[in-house]
């Protein structure tokens, strides 16, 4: 499924407020919606070093 | 929410040229570069008891991952326990330390979801600053990942803590929470490329990072044989009054929305339990069910229960419906959770791709699909694991989650200013503010501290401040403490019989 950002950004954001520090009751902020551009995403993804996952080894934690 | 909440996240750590044998030292080195004011090396472990089980016993020892134990044996380190732990308590009341070779940030106790989201994101920013400082010092590339796996079989945790009344019967708590936690991943999963078990089923992508590591439905373990329902009995509050639900089966969410929904729904189920409601069904095999749901992101998520086969969505709806009947209109935060919970379940049923701006597992899969289609590579190409990892890179300049945020493709719930504020300041309505004030003002006097106690030494006098009963809204007290002009006044405000103790009674008990 290719990103269908147009559909998503048109969908209304939640309008009911969540309480916030200070208790002012502002709602969740809308994202700063710019024109979706998958080229920028692809550029960022192409910059990812494909060998990083091979190098990435971790100690087990909790 | 009418309870204390917190999230503790162990971050994945990569330091160029260093391997797993060096990871404890590298984690310590990174924490030594912490550029924020803190009380260091003073965490008080005396009240911790991770082997105590809610079922009324204490295990002899906790299980350890055999592979990790081998690394420990073959590569011993020469640091002291204090150096290894590298404990920091920050001005926002958070704890920052080295936990099993992972830098861990534990948020201060919060009562409101938005505070928790801001504090969780503040943790990312604080650790990013540590990593950048260490990179400058060492000259090596240093990266931190907010995820739960190295994709080679090692997992590390993101745990949630929820304070609840001890009057909730253990059996009811466990039987009600287990189906909920088993199926919660359908909106709380962070997504993962591949599977980390042998034999390895060919699954290109699954919903949860953590499901591969579930080995038991219920136990007290966290390092190995990890359960869906953790029975650790360590309330960090007065034992006779409270439990702490220690959720260890969840994923690290990059999405603020997913974090809010995950924590908000879980807290509402605890509200139901405290109000006497209980689930009246159980899942036949929760571990197998969780892994089956996770590994079939496009499936129907059918679950075998003692009440017949039902979908994971319908199981979640049982909890949702009970919460809607009781809590609709209670407050704005509750209404947000109820509405979004319902919306998400409906969309998961009808068009899950529309959740790509809210849920991590959907957003990440869309990113990977975009790359796969553009570059003509299959979804199970090894390069996909690198992209999966990059989604969790907390550096906004390089991380793929942050690329989505930058483009307005992810719903965010807190502003940059709120996160900035949370990096330095605790929530105003919990006992974390008292801890934060001590770090801000009385660092030289802090002898030790933890979640429920602070010991101050002032002019040859040692004062124990007992926070174990301060579990409610402490806004008024915090306001008065903030106005205190001297440490003596600060201590006096806390020294009512219910709020502080100067005796050695606790130590000897």
How does pLDDT run across B13-54, given as a tens digit for each residue? 999 999 999 999 999 999 999 999 999 999 999 999 999 999
Segment B70-87 shows an average pLDDT of 95
Please tell me whether residue B289 adopts helix, strand or coil conformation: helix
Long-range interactions of B366-373: CB distance < 8 A, separation 24+: B366/A1, B366/A2, B366/A3, B367/A3, B367/A41, B367/A45, B367/B391, B367/B400, B367/B404, B368/B193, B368/B205, B369/A1, B369/A2, B370/A2, B370/A3, B370/A38, B370/A41, B370/A42, B370/A45, B371/A42, B371/A45, B373/A2
Q: How confident is the model at residue A36 (pLDDT cuts 50, 70, 90)?
A: low
Tell which phi-psi region holds residue A6, choosing left (phi > 0), alpha (psi between -120 and 50) or beta.
Answer: alpha
Q: How confident is the model at residue B255 (pLDDT cuts 50, 70, 90)?
A: very high
End-to-end Cα separation, chain A, in angstroms: 34
CB atoms under 10 Å from CB of A38, counted, come to 17
**Cα B26 from Cα B14, distance rounded (Å):** 9
CA nearest neighbour of B118 among B232, B283, B282, B5: B5
**Cα B51 from Cα B67, distance rounded (Å):** 22
In whole angstroms, what separates CA B193 from the centre of its chain? 22
Q: What is the tens place of the pLDDT at every residue in B367-397?
A: 999 999 999 999 888 899 999 999 999 999 9
Q: How confident is the model at residue B71 (pLDDT cuts 50, 70, 90)?
A: very high
Q: What is the tens place of the pLDDT at every residue in B426-464?
A: 999 999 999 999 999 999 999 999 999 999 998 889 999
CA nearest neighbour of A45 among B430, B274, B387: B387
**Cα A32 from Cα B240, distance rounded (Å):** 48
Check residue B501 and give its pLDDT. Answer: 42
Q: What is the tens place of the pLDDT at every residue in B147-188?
A: 999 999 999 999 999 999 999 999 999 999 999 999 999 999
| Chain B residue with minimum CA distance to A43 | B371
Residues sharing a CB contact under 8 Å with residue B122, sequence separation 6 or more, in sequence order: B92, B94, B107, B419, B422, B423
**Cα B484 from Cα B442, distance rounded (Å):** 12
Q: State the residue for tokens 């917190």.
A: B6
Distance from the Cα of A36 to chain B's closest Cα (Å) equals: 6
Q: What is the tens place of the pLDDT at every residue in B393-416?
A: 999 999 999 999 999 999 999 999
Check residue B201 and give its pLDDT. Answer: 85
- Minimal Cβ distance to A18: which of B13, B114, B366: B114
Q: What is the ipTM of this complex?
A: 0.93
Segment B290-297 shows an average pLDDT of 97
Q: What is the tens place of the pLDDT at every residue in B104-145?
A: 999 999 999 999 999 999 999 999 999 999 999 999 999 999
Distance from the Cα of A17 to chain B's closest Cα (Å) equals: 6
Phi, psi of B303 (to 5 degrees): -130, 130
| Chain A residue with minimum CA distance to B257 | A28
Q: Mutation test of the interface with chain A: which of B411, B419, B427, choosing the one with the most A Cβ atoms within 10 A?
A: B411
Mean of per-residue pLDDT scores for chain B: 95
DSSP state of B352: G
| Chain B residue with minimum CA distance to A11 | B354
* pLDDT for A27 beyond 90: no
* pLDDT for A34 beyond 70: no
Check residue A17 and give its pLDDT. Answer: 35
**Cα B481 from Cα B470, distance rounded (Å):** 14
Check residue B498 and give its pLDDT. Answer: 52
DSSP state of B246: E
CB contact (8 A) between residue A58 and residue B339: no
Check residue A7 and give its pLDDT. Answer: 33
Phi, psi of B366 (to 5 degrees): -65, -40
Q: Burial code of B35-48, b = ≥16 C-beta within 10 A, e = fewer?
A: ebebbbebbbeeee
Check residue B453 and give its pLDDT. Answer: 98
CB contact (8 A) between residue B115 and residue A21: yes
């Amino acid at each position: 499924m290719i990103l269908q950002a147009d559909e998503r950004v048109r969908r209304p954001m939640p309008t009911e407020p969540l309480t916030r520090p200070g208790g002012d009751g502002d709602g969740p902020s809308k994202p700063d919606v710019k024109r979706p551009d998958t080229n920028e995403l692809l550029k960022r993804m192409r910059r990812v070093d494909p060998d990083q996952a091979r190098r990435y080894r971790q100690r087990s934690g909790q | 929410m009418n309870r204390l909440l917190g999230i503790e996240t162990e971050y994945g750590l990569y330091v160029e040229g260093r391997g797993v044998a060096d990871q404890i030292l590298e984690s310590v080195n990174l924490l030594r570069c912490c550029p924020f004011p803190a009380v260091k090396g003073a965490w008080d472990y005396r009240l911790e008891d991770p082997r105590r089980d809610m079922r009324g016993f204490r295990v002899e020892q906790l299980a350890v991952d055999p592979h990790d134990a081998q690394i420990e044996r073959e590569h011993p380190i020469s640091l002291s326990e204090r150096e290894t732990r590298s404990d920091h308590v920050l001005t926002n009341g958070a704890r920052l330390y080295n936990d099993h070779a992972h830098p861990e940030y534990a948020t201060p106790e919060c009562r409101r979801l938005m505070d928790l989201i801001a504090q969780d994101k503040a943790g990312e920013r604080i650790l990013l600053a540590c990593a950048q400082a260490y990179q400058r010092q060492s000259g090596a590339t240093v990266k931190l990942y907010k995820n739960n796996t190295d994709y080679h079989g090692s997992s590390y945790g993101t745990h949630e803590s929820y304070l609840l009344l001890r009057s909730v019967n253990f059996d009811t708590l466990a039987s009600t929470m287990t189906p909920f936690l088993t199926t919660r991943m359908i909106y709380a999963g962070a997504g993962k490329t591949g599977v980390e078990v042998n034999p390895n089923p060919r699954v290109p992508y699954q919903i949860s990072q953590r499901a591969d590591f579930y080995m038991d439905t219920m136990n007290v373990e966290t390092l190995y044989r990890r359960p869906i329902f953790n029975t650790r009995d360590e309330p960090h509050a007065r034992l006779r009054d409270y439990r702490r639900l220690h959720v260890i089966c969840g994923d690290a969410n990059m999405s603020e929305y997913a974090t809010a929904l995950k924590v908000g729904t879980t807290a509402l189920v605890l509200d139901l339990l405290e109000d006497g409601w209980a689930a009246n069904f159980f899942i036949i095999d929760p571990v197998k069910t969780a892994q089956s749901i996770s590994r079939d992101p496009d499936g129907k998520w059918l679950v075998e229960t003692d009440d017949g086969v039902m979908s994971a969505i319908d199981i979640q709806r049982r909890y949702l419906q009970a919460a809607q009947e009781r809590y609709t209109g209670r407050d704005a935060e509750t209404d947000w959770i109820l509405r979004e919970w319902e919306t998400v379940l409906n969309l998961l049923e009808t068009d899950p791709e529309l959740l790509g701006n809210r849920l991590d597992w959907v957003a990440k899969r869309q990113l990977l699909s975009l790359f796969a289609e553009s570059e003509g590579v299959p979804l199970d190409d090894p390069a996909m694991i690198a992209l999966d990892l990059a989604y969790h890179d907390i550096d906004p300049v390089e991380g793929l989650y942050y690329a989505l945020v930058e483009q307005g493709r992810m719903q965010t719930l807190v502003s940059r200013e709120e996160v900035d504020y949370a990096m330095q300041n605790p929530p105003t309505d919990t006992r974390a503010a008292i801890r934060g004030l001590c770090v801000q003002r009385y660092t030289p006097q802090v002898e030790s501290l933890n979640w429920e106690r602070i010991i101050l030494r002032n002019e040859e006098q040692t004062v124990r401040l007992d926070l174990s009963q301060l579990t409610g809204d402490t806004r008024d007290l915090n306001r008065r403490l903030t106005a205190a002009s001297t440490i003596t006044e600060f201590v006096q405000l806390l020294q009512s019989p219910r709020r502080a103790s100067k005796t050695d009674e606790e130590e000897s008990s």
